Amino acid sequence: MQLRSPMINAHDSSLFCPVSIPDSLSGQRKEQSDPRPPPPRADWQSPVYAIIAINVLVHLALLAAQSLSSAPTGVTALSLSLHLHPKSFHWWQVLTSGLVHTDWAHLAETSFHTYLWGRLVEQKRGAIGVLVTYVASLCGANVIAWLTLSAKAGKATVASPATWLGLFAVGIFWPRINRKPLELLCLTPLVLMSAVERFRSLAPIILFNGWQMGHLVHPMGALVTASLLEGTFCLLDAARAWLAYIEEQKRKKAREDGRSR
């Protein structure tokens, strides 16, 4: 008697449906299927797009006010009041200096880096992590710059590159420094040069052994703040993992005590 192997039809949809297998403990049948990832966050729900939109709106508002106003000097004073100015410092300049840009190319560069690194932070730290990293990097860079350059700088500065530099540190630099060092070796010089170049006008303010160092104040402030923030995130992750482990051990012990009774 010759046995024939059953022919499998490639178009049979039953082969691709979830397989039902009996549960060895309860005798019931369970449906086994691959878990699906949660649906992605809509664009309008992402803080990254909101940050980019705010930057674009502020830039458009300043351009519109400058073109419609009959007093350009007043508009210039309004625009400069949003920059970080050591000689006419106001507390809101710590935040607003990250929302103003010198030209369209500067705005496009900020939007690109904010989107690229901000989405990575959002995937790992969530929306709150993006906002905290953005604001903390901006404030850290401005506070250090104000303490360092306030006595020497006589010009208003824009600190928007410090924001996406902090997002870069939290989103990709520290998380991948051990796993993908070659990738960081290619990306880090480009990102640093892009950020440092925007502060080139501050270079002559600080001299160290004949080297101009003023343009490094904002980037270093942003990187130090973002590094401290990433360390805080890691400590919080470790604390949550430890609490989850303790809770799991309590549940395991409770199940063992229930079985022993």
Per-residue model confidence as pLDDT tens digits over 164-207? 999 999 999 999 999 999 999 999 999 999 999 988 888 777 76
* Phi, psi for 38 (deg, rounded to 5): -65, 150
Q: Would you give the DSSP letter of residue 157?
A: B
Per-residue model confidence as pLDDT tens digits over 124-154? 999 999 999 999 999 999 888 888 876 555 6
10 pLDDT band, cuts 50/70/90, is: very low
- The residue ranges of DSSP E strands in 105-233, in sequence order, are 207-208, 211-212
**Which one is predicted more confidently, 254 or 53?**
53
What is the rounded CA–CA span in Å between residue 170 and residue 172? 6
Asked if residue 223 has pLDDT above 60, the reply is yes
pLDDT of residue 71: 55
What is the rounded CA–CA span in Å between residue 197 and residue 109? 12
Beta bridge partners of 30: 21
What ranges do the domains of the chain cover?
46-235
> Which residues have C-beta within 8 Å of that of residue 56, sequence separation ≥ 6?
107, 111
Residue 57 tokens, joined: 């709106």
211 pLDDT band, cuts 50/70/90, is: confident
* Rounded alpha-carbon distances, angstroms, from residue 61 to 69, 75, 78, 104, 113: 12, 11, 11, 13, 22
What is the rounded CA–CA span in Å between residue 107 and residue 160? 9
CATH fit for domain 46-235, picks 1.20.1540.10, 3.40.50.300, 1.50.10.10, 1.10.630.10: 1.20.1540.10
